[in-house]
């Protein structure tokens, strides 16, 4: 309950883990560095990929490439998903029309689209954007839909009684009232985007963090694998934080979520 | 709240759905049969069905489709059960002992943003590409929801139950097994369901990248042989198994909730 104690224990745990890691790999040699890198190797690999580069580019270029694809796939997916969710939530007829097809496609995990995407679009960026689209589309539709259905009827009735037009209804009633759920969907979409991108890049890519992981795996270079994973984690964290900041800006009437 | 003055009747719902489906299949057929899209890239629905039935009897990439599905499912079951067997008890303990929570949470938060799939190189290096590697990937996907839901379930158990148990001199172990576990059961089941879904996803990813058998492997082989119907047949098989797992656990969840008077 006391944040100070929690903070203290957290720092101690991380420090202890780091110490155990260093001792096991560098002092006693219990863990073979051929399988798990030592902190020193990690640091050296990080420096190598940052300055000289690895797998044809520096870490910055790889990270930027992955980030660009995630952002593009995510934006395209939500640009299609949120309006579809709004429409399905608003009209039961639209829901009845779209639902069977949606139910047919939904059980197929986004990662299962990867081979098809490669067949269709090759190993380049377009295939990645396609699978990210499939990954991010479904959560944004479902959550927007649920958000609209959960709006209290009297809010819409009041707006209607005051003669609100269709466009204003969507912009000033539906979207704001459904936005907490919409943002929950966006968060899930973003997570799914990263997972799918990393998988797609591991299956085959010309650049990106997944390629760093892939090449490092083939070179049996555990320290570089770890650097790649850390980069994936940091980018995932940073984009999630960014989305949370946008969320707080977009809905100033709600208490901030962690 | 919806725009419809009257909700559509059951017949209208079915009718609209049928029109939607017919449109979907119709566009697919029109694109492929007219030759706008080469059949090599997008097979007709009939091609896919024929190929699926063919795969039931004739092996591709070393096995028939059912054998691939079974070998995928075996790995999946091990990985998921391992995640549940470690995640649920650890979550309950974290809910009971806040010091344990303080220790585990920072580590967990640090690892949380690494997509399960990013573990693939290490999984292959540590446990090989046979059964061990994929199990580790499934584990890393299914573990977090199992842990989080067990923890939340245990954390939000009515304090009175725990205090009553303690007052009666119940030991910690028994408190966990006989108070926390039953009281947080609905939350645990919900976590298992989410974990099962993510685990199945992760299995597909792992098999696409490292495995030497299984549906994902079959799809990659289909992809490199430019056999699009095989790839689509694999997608369908994965979808069906995933759906079955979800339906089964959803049933279980509803059953548990109903027995608790929650639904």
Task: Calculate how close chain A gets to B91, using CA atoms only, in Å.
Answer: 17
For position A258, what pLDDT does the model report? 45
Q: How many CB atoms lie within 10 A of CB A27?
A: 9
Q: How far apart are CA B157 and CA A51, in angstroms?
A: 52
Q: Which residue has the tokens 């006693």?
A: A28
Q: Which of A182-186, A194-198, B255-259 has the lowest mean pLDDT?
A: B255-259
Q: Give the tokens for residue B4.
A: 């419809």
pLDDT in tens, A167-180: 888 888 889 999 98
Domain over A39-250 is classified CATH 3.40.50.970 = no
pLDDT tens per residue, range B2-30: 666 567 888 888 898 899 889 988 898 88
Count of Cβ atoms closer than 10 Å to residue A188 Cβ: 17
- Residue B261 pLDDT level (bands cut at 50, 70, 90): confident
Q: Is B226 on the interface with A (CB under 8 A)?
A: yes
Distance in angstroms (rounded) separating the CA atoms of residues B188 and A63 = 37
A146/A177 Cα distance (integer angstroms): 11
The span from the CA of B126 to the CA of A220, in Å, is: 11
d(CA A39, CA A79): 42
Is a pLDDT exceeding 60 seen at residue A1? no
CB contact under 8 A, B16 and A195: no
* Tokens found for residue B67: 């054998």
Query: Would you call B11 helix, strand, or coil by DSSP?
Result: helix
Put simply, whether B247 touches A (Cβ < 8 Å) is: no
Whole-model pTM? 0.85
What is the pLDDT confidence band of residue A61, given thresholds at 50, 70 and 90? very high
Q: How many CB atoms lie within 10 A of CB B112?
A: 15
pLDDT digits 0-9 by tens, B177-195: 888 888 888 899 999 999 9
Domains of chain B, CATH where assigned: 59-259 (1.10.3720.10)
pLDDT of residue A62: 93
Both tokens assigned to A53: 């580069």
Report the residue count for chain A.
258
When pLDDT is averaged across residues A1-13 and rounded to a whole number, the result is: 77
- Asked if the Cβ–Cβ distance from B219 to A115 is below 8 Å, we say yes
Asked if residue B60 lies in contact with residue B221, where contact means CB atoms within 8 angstroms, the answer is yes
Output the six-digit token pair for A80: 């299609």
Q: Report domain extents, chain A.
A: 39-250
């Amino acid at each position: 309950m006391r944040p100070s104690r929690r903070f203290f224990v957290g720092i101690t745990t991380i420090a202890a883990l780091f110490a155990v890691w260093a001792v096991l790999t560098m002092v006693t040699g219990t863990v073979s560095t051929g399988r798990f890198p030592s902190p020193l190797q990690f640091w050296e690999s990080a420096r190598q990929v940052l300055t000289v580069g690895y797998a044809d580019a520096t870490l910055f270029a790889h990270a930027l490439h992955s980030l660009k694809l995630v952002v593009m796939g995510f934006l395209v997916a939500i640009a299609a998903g949120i309006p579809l969710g709004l429409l399905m939530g608003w009209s039961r007829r639209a829901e009845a029309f779209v639902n069977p097809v949606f139910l047919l496609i939904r059980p197929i995990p986004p990662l299962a689209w990867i081979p098809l995407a490669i067949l269709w679009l090759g190993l380049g960026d377009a295939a990645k954007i396609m699978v990210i689209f499939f990954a991010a589309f479904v959560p944004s539709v479902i959550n927007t839909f649920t958000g609209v259905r959960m709006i209290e009827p009297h809010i819409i009735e009041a707006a209607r009684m005051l003669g609100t037009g269709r466009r204003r209804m969507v912009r000033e009633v539906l979207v704001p009232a459904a936005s907490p759920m919409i943002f929950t969907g966006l968060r899930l979409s973003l997570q799914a985007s990263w997972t799918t991108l990393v998988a797609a890049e591991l299956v085959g890519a010309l650049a990106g963090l997944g390629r760093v992981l892939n090449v490092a795996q083939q070179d049996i270079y555990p320290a570089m694998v770890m650097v790649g994973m850390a980069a994936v984690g940091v980018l995932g964290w940073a984009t999630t934080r960014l989305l949370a900041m946008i969320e707080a800006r977009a809905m100033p009437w709600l208490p901030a979520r962690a | 709240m919806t725009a419809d003055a009257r909700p559509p009747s059951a017949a209208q719902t079915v009718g609209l759905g049928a029109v939607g489906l017919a449109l979907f299949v119709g566009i697919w057929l029109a694109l492929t049969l007219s030759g706008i899209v080469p059949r090599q890239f997008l097979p007709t629905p009939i091609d896919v069905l024929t190929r699926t039935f063919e795969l039931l009897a004739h092996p591709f990439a070393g096995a028939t489709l059912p054998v691939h599905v079974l070998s995928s499912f075996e790995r999946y079951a091990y990985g998921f059960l391992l995640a549940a067997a470690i995640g649920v008890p650890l979550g309950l303990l974290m809910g009971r002992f806040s010091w344990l929570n303080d220790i585990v949470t920072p580590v967990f938060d640090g690892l949380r943003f690494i997509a399960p799939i990013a573990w693939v190189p290490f999984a292959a290096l540590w446990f090989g590409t046979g059964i061990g590697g994929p199990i580790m990937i499934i584990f890393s996907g299914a573990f977090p929801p199992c842990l989080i839901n067990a923890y939340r379930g245990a954390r939000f158990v009515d304090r009175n139950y725990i205090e009553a148990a303690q007052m009666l001199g119940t030991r910690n172990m028994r408190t966990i097994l006989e108070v926390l576990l039953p009281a947080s059961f609905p939350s645990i089941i919900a976590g298992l369901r989410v974990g099962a879904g993510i685990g199945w996803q992760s299995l597909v990813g792992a098999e696409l990248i490292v495995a030497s058998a299984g549906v994902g492997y079959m799809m990659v082989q289909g992809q490199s042989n430019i056999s699009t119907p095989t790839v689509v047949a694999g997608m369908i098989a994965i979808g069906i198994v995933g759906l079955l797992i979800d339906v089964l656990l959803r049933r279980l969840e509803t059953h548990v909730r109903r027995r608790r008077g929650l639904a």
